[in-house]
């Protein structure tokens, strides 16, 4: 697999570039000026297929909640965008990245789930005339968690970062899958069960063997099993994605990778955690003992320290109810 970096911030830049960057006033190095220090790394995956790779840090006023990946598929009929970003301004940041690829309008926006960066940028693209598609369950999840998400986002990106953000829901929903032919491009959207969030879907491009997984896959950083997650069906949603045998997996978070890396960083972790917590329960231990589980084989992943014990607690809670 060869990934072609389009971003001026990619590792191949000469030292003078970094020196200029360091000497610039910080106000220039912000989301409003992505040509200088882009938050989103534009990565060409195939002819007309791109990933916008966001940072794997937390949401902040600079990334505007776009600490995630997005997909850009350029067709004869316009651009199909996989996920619109977390805020109105975050959507504008994504649109600026798209403009560095093509002048074509954004025709279709897919929401791969219910987490903020999968849908709260809808309003911006809707105002440009885009049609929005999501699974029924993703929309239900977005509606149920709207207030919580806005409060949490506001705390992280700030009031200014949140300006203009309005909840706009999909124009069209589907239950399990939606098959689209946009121009000559076949695009499949599959909801294969509750994963990181209730309505997570993956977007499969059969001609390119590329999958945009939304939050079903995390690489390079530890995934989060939150109160909105269901780890058991997350494992089967991953299996449904992996059954396509993708050449390139664009995870919801982390760099585009092969299927093996996706399996290592997401699937094996979920299976390991499920088995380890079950063994703890079988030994008669309470939830206060989840810290005893040795998760260190996944210590190489970012966010390990903050999330590993919390993930085990959540899996414990879920297993108690199975």
Interface ranges with Zn ion (CB under 5 A): 68, 115, 215, 252
Q: What string of DSSP letters covers 114-178?
A: SSGGGTTTHHHHHHTT-EEEEEHHHHHHHHHHHHHHHHHHHHHHHHHHHTT------SEEESSEE
Residue in this structure with the two tokens 């959207």, named with its chain if needed:
189
Q: Which is nearer to Zn ion, 78 or 199 (CB)?
A: 199
Q: Using DSSP bridges, classify how beta strands 106-111 and 78-82 pair: parallel, antiparallel or unpaired.
A: parallel
To Zn ion, the closest distance from the beta carbon of 154 in angstroms equals 17
Q: Which is nearer to Zn ion, 31 or 280 (CB)?
A: 31
Q: Which is nearer to Zn ion, 106 or 223 (CB)?
A: 223
To Zn ion, the closest distance from the beta carbon of 308 in angstroms equals 18
To Zn ion, the closest distance from the beta carbon of 158 in angstroms equals 19
Tokens, residue 141: 């999840």
To Zn ion, the closest distance from the beta carbon of 67 in angstroms equals 8
Beta sheet of 172-174, edge-to-edge order: 4-5, 41-46, 49-53, 69-75, 78-82, 106-111, 131-135, 172-174
| Cα 6–chain centre separation | 20
d(CA 89, CA 124): 8
d(CA 141, CA 148): 11
d(CA 75, CA 260): 29
To Zn ion, the closest distance from the beta carbon of 182 in angstroms equals 25
Tokens, residue 76: 């004869």
Q: Which is nearer to Zn ion, 97 or 251 (CB)?
A: 251
- The percent of the chain in helix, strand and coil, each rounded to the nearest 5, is 40, 20, 40
Residue closest to Zn ion, measured at CB = 215
To Zn ion, the closest distance from the beta carbon of 85 in angstroms equals 11
Q: Which is nearer to Zn ion, 202 or 280 (CB)?
A: 202
Are 114 and 141 spatial neighbours (Cβ–Cβ below 8 Å)? yes
Q: Which is nearer to Zn ion, 119 or 293 (CB)?
A: 119
Q: Which is nearer to Zn ion, 257 or 280 (CB)?
A: 257
To Zn ion, the closest distance from the beta carbon of 253 in angstroms equals 6
């Amino acid at each position: 697999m060869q990934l072609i970096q389009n971003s001026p911030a990619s590792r191949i830049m000469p030292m003078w570039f970094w020196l200029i960057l360091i000497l610039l006033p910080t106000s220039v190095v912000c989301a409003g000026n992505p040509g200088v220090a882009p938050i989103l790394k534009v990565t060409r995956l195939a002819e007309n297929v791109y990933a916008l790779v966001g940072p794997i840090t937390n949401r902040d006023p600079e990334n505007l909640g776009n600490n995630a990946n997005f997909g850009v598929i350029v067709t004869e009929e316009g651009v199909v965008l996989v996920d619109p970003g977390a805020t109105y301004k975050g959507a504008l940041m994504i649109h600026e990245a798209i403009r560095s690829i093509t002048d074509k309008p954004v025709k279709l926006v897919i929401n791969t789930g219910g987490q903020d960066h999968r849908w709260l940028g809808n309003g911006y693209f809707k105002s440009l005339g885009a049609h929005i598609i999501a699974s029924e369950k993703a929309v239900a999840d977005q509606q149920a968690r709207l207030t919580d998400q806005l409060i949490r986002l506001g705390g992280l990106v700030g009031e200014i970062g949140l300006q203009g953000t309005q909840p706009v829901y999909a124009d069209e929903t589907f239950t399990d899958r939606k098959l689209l032919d946009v121009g000559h491009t076949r695009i499949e959207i599959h909801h294969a069960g509750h994963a990181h969030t209730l309505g997570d879907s993956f977007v499969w491009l059969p001609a390119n063997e590329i999958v945009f997984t939304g939050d079903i896959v995390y690489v390079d950083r530890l995934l989060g099993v939150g109160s909105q997650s269901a780890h058991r069906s997350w494992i089967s949603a991953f299996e449904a994605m992996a059954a396509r045998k993708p050449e390139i997996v664009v995870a919801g978070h982390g760099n585009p990778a092969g299927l093996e890396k996706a399996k290592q960083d997401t699937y094996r972790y979920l299976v390991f955690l499920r088995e380890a917590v079950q063994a703890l329960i079988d030994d008669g231990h309470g939830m206060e003992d989840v810290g005893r589980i040795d998760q260190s084989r996944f210590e190489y992943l970012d966010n390990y320290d903050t999330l590993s014990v919390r993930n085990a607690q959540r899996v414990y809670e879920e297993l108690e109810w199975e």
